[in-house]
């Protein structure tokens, strides 16, 4: 008698199915595996729209999973705004955009209270920060007073007006684009605001092959530059994203790996080429995004390599180099890579 079960003859089987060919037990995919497949679909859609920027796209998605904010820097025309708009289409939540200009007022960001003559009461006109995904486009085109309007909402997920605090919808994420400071008409972001960005992503020019592919994609049979995101479909809902963010927060991390992350951040305060090192918020950001990377790769634990390869993105906007190093032509990336090479990672 053959005791091998046929899945077609036993449709009530749950949890596990039995292969009629080999007799091996085959487990159904876990919730994390199903979610990771969705996230890979999300990545593929955004990568198709923003050709040649795979690492940039991955870093932005990791920040999304970490419940953190992103600062995107690059010269005009490299797709910073396109990236955010593509990401917004994959996410079935609310999306709003603020174009930062020199005459932008803080109330244009957060909203303001007005007196309603008909109802004889004060009413709150909500600003664009009351959304799930906020694009702060060319944030350094506005002076510090307008930039500072984002400080409270980025950290505390709320806006205080007329002495009353109002929560913004969750999940909430700010993706700010900025032009390099060498460009005319830009203002440096305050240190307190920079520190609230989980990571800073620098968008560079694509390779020649990717640039050819991008040019063909946009120009063949399409009018305008929006064609690359027209076919993008929503992959995650707001509720699903909140669940994923909690799952990411629950990823296990060994004490030795936490110690490694802290040692990396503390090293920025002692390095001879760094004038101003990173604060404690950088330790927290580094652990959070390392957990997100482990989750995206299908693991339920963090490796030292997760921490190391994301350190530059977490630290580059939180440190300042000494003048003599800048005169020698060394950049933040070079100094951080040298520093990371000198810090021993845990081996077990």
- Asked whether residue 6 is assigned to any structural domain, the reply reads no
> What is the distance between the alpha carbons of residues 142 and 3, in angstroms, rounded to a whole number?
73
- Per-residue confidence at 1, pLDDT binned at 50, 70, 90? very low
Same domain as 199, residue 331: no
Q: The CATH number of the domain where 282 resides is what?
A: 1.10.8.80
Q: What is the mean pLDDT of residues 111-115?
A: 78
Same domain as 245, residue 272: no
Q: What is the mean pLDDT of residues 55-70?
A: 95
Same domain as 303, residue 169: no
Same domain as 103, residue 214: yes
- Per-residue confidence at 144, pLDDT binned at 50, 70, 90? confident
Residue 9 pLDDT greater than 80, yes or no: no
Instruction: Give the least confident one: 114-118, 282-286, 299-303.
Output: 114-118
Which of the pair, 67 or 215, is modelled with greater confidence? 67
Q: Please name which of 102, 67, 112, 60 lies closest in space to residue 81, comparing C-alpha atoms.
A: 60
| Mean pLDDT rounded to a whole number for the chain | 85
- Asked whether residue 16 is assigned to any structural domain, the reply reads no
- Asked whether residue 8 is assigned to any structural domain, the reply reads no
- Per-residue confidence at 20, pLDDT binned at 50, 70, 90? very low
Same domain as 272, residue 149: no
- Per-residue confidence at 76, pLDDT binned at 50, 70, 90? confident
Same domain as 310, residue 175: no
What is the domain extent for residue 270? Answer: 251-348
Q: The CATH number of the domain where 99 resides is what?
A: 3.40.50.300
Same domain as 139, residue 118: yes
Q: What is the mean pLDDT of residues 114-123?
A: 74
Same domain as 213, residue 260: no
Residue 27 pLDDT greater than 80, yes or no: no
Q: What is the mean pLDDT of residues 230-239?
A: 86
Q: What is the mean pLDDT of residues 231-240?
A: 87
Same domain as 214, residue 111: yes
Region of 329 please: left (phi>0), alpha (psi -120 to 50) or beta: left
- Asked whether residue 348 is assigned to any structural domain, the reply reads yes
- Paired tokens of 151: 């400080």
At residue 66, the pLDDT reads 95
Same domain as 205, residue 347: no
Same domain as 172, residue 257: no
- Asked whether residue 18 is assigned to any structural domain, the reply reads no
Residue 262 pLDDT greater than 90, yes or no: yes
> What is the distance between the alpha carbons of residues 161 and 331, in angstroms, rounded to a whole number?
41
For the chain, what is the radius of gyration of the CA atoms? Answer: 23
- Asked whether residue 52 is assigned to any structural domain, the reply reads yes
Instruction: Give the least confident one: 221-235, 283-297, 318-332.
Output: 221-235
- Asked whether residue 53 is assigned to any structural domain, the reply reads yes
Q: What is the mean pLDDT of residues 266-289?
A: 95
Q: What is the mean pLDDT of residues 156-169?
A: 87
- Per-residue confidence at 231, pLDDT binned at 50, 70, 90? confident
- Asked whether residue 185 is assigned to any structural domain, the reply reads yes
Cα–Cα distances in angstroms (integers) from residue 13 to residues 23, 30, 63, 197, 310, in the given order: 15, 16, 39, 48, 43
Same domain as 119, residue 39: yes
Q: Please name which of 174, 176, 172, 142 lies closest in space to residue 72, comparing C-alpha atoms.
A: 176
pTM: 0.84
> What is the distance between the alpha carbons of residues 108 and 58, in angstroms, rounded to a whole number?
31
Instruction: Give the least confident one: 24-28, 133-137, 243-247, 314-318.
Output: 24-28
% of residues, the chain, pLDDT over 70: 88
Count of domains forming the chain: 2
At residue 223, the pLDDT reads 56
- Paired tokens of 6: 């046929």
């Amino acid at each position: 008698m053959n005791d091998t079960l046929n899945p077609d003859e036993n449709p009530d089987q749950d949890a596990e199915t039995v292969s009629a060919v080999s007799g091996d037990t085959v487990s159904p995919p876990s919730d994390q595996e199903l979610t990771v497949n969705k996230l890979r679909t999300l990545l593929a859609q955004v990568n198709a729209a923003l050709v040649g920027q795979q690492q940039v796209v991955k870093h932005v998605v990791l920040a999304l999973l970490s419940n953190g904010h992103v600062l995107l820097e690059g010269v005009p025309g490299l797709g910073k705004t396109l990236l955010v708009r593509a990401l917004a289409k994959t996410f079935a939540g609310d999306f709003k955009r603020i174009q930062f200009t020199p005459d932008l007022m803080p109330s244009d960001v957060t909203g303001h209270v007005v007196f309603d003559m008909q109802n004889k009461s004060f009413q709150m006109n909500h600003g664009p920060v009351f959304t799930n995904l906020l694009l702060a486009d060319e944030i350094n085109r506005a002076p510090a007073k307008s930039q500072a309007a984002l400080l409270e909402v980025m950290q505390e997920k709320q806006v205080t007006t007329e002495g009353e605090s109002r929560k913004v919808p969750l999940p909430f994420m700010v993706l700010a684009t900025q032009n390099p400071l060498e460009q005319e008409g830009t203002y440096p972001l305050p240190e307190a605001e920079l520190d609230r960005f989980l990571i800073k992503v620098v968008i560079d020019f694509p390779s020649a092959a990717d640039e050819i592919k991008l040019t063909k994609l946009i120009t063949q049979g399409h009018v305008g530059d929006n064609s690359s995101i027209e076919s993008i479909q929503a992959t995650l809902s707001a509720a699903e994203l909140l669940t994923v963010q909690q799952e990411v927060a629950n990823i296990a991390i060994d004490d030795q790996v936490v110690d490694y992350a802290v040692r990396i951040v503390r090293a920025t305060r002692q390095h001879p080429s760094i004038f101003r090192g990173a604060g404690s918020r950088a330790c927290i950001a580094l652990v959070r995004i390392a957990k997100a990377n482990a989750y995206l790769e299908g693991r339920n634990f963090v490796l030292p390599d997760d921490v190391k390869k994301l350190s530059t993105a977490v630290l580059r906007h939180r440190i300042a180099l000494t003048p003599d190093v800048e005169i020698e032509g060394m950049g933040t990336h070079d100094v951080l890579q040298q520093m990371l090479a000198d810090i021993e990672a845990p081996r077990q």
